[in-house]
Amino acid sequence: MSNTTTVQSVDRAIAILEILARDGATRVTDLAVELDVHKSTAFRLLAALEQGGLVEQSGERGRYRLGFGVVRLAGAATAQLDLSRESRPVCLRLAETVGETVNIAVPRDGDAVNISQVRGPAAISGHNWVGQRTPSHATSSGKVLLAFGALRLPAELRRYTPHTVTSAAGLALDEVRERGWAATVEELEVGLNAVAAPIRGSDGSVVAAVSASGPSYRLTPPRLPEVGALLVAAAREISQRIGYYG
């Protein structure tokens, strides 16, 4: 199948979802007419969407409607938007208190992905981490997500600096769970330290991590427990704001 044909099929599949969202349960023949395609083409597109749970056949033969897969996707998107919005005021206060850059990261395909960032008054780097995938074993957020089961430990732990931990035992994930926060000391970048704590969703599972990162000469190892306690408190507040009351 050519790239043009593939893109055309995706466009038509999206159009089907939009039509079903607008009209509710709709006949295949009506979809084919609106898309200006043969009925067999409409059937093929619907079959692919049905396999993914995005559409389903309604009680009336020959009609299709949106499936629960759409609800699942919408829920995931809404949860991420809620997390970014509800964490913002907490992160602003935290960045002001700690003086460093604060990020919110969520688990995605084996990595920690930053979805929001607030720079503290003392932050010296203009680096924007939003949207970036970061390795779980070499970041404080990633270690938190590993420790609390939101991510799985990769088979190979790549070395990024001379200080990167490359063994499962060295990550000390049991200790992370016990004290409630994780830290990295120049493990992703030389001269960069970070601390993170877990954010829990309404069901109590860890869904994200909040972290503070800064230069190693300022966010020093002796200071990490103090900042860790601040992050635990901030993570607890964010968790409550998104529906966790444990």
CATH code of the domain containing 192: 3.30.450.40
Query: Given this model, what pLDDT does residue 76 score?
Result: 57
90 and 206 fall within a common domain? yes
> Tokens at residue 229, please?
């306690």
Query: Given this model, what pLDDT does residue 150 score?
Result: 95
Query: Given this model, what pLDDT does residue 93 score?
Result: 95
Q: Which helix (H) or strand (E) holds 16?
A: helix 3-23
Q: Burial level of 191, CB count in 10 A (0-12/13-18/19+)?
A: exposed
Three-state DSSP state, 116: strand
The Cα 225–Cα 232 span in angstroms is: 10
CA count, 13 A, side-chain hemisphere, 92: 5
CA count, 13 A, side-chain hemisphere, 76: 8
Q: Looking up tokens 């931990």, which residue turns up? A: 165
Query: Given this model, what pLDDT does residue 211 score?
Result: 97
81 and 197 fall within a common domain? yes
Query: Given this model, what pLDDT does residue 203 score?
Result: 85
The amino acid occupying position 114 is N
| Residue ranges making up the domain that contains 201 | 77-241
104 and 124 fall within a common domain? yes
Asked if residue 71 belongs to a domain, the reply is no
149 and 62 fall within a common domain? no
Rounded to whole angstroms, the maximal C-alpha distance in the chain is 69
pTM here? 0.69
pLDDT-flagged residues of the chain (< 70): 1-5, 59-60, 71-81, 123-127, 129, 246
Query: Given this model, what pLDDT does residue 60 score?
Result: 67
Query: Given this model, what pLDDT does residue 180 score?
Result: 97
Query: Given this model, what pLDDT does residue 121 score?
Result: 80
The count of structural domains within the chain is 2
Report H helices in 63-183. Answer: 68-98, 140-147, 168-171, 173-179
Query: Given this model, what pLDDT does residue 70 score?
Result: 75
Asked if residue 72 belongs to a domain, the reply is no
Query: Given this model, what pLDDT does residue 224 score?
Result: 97
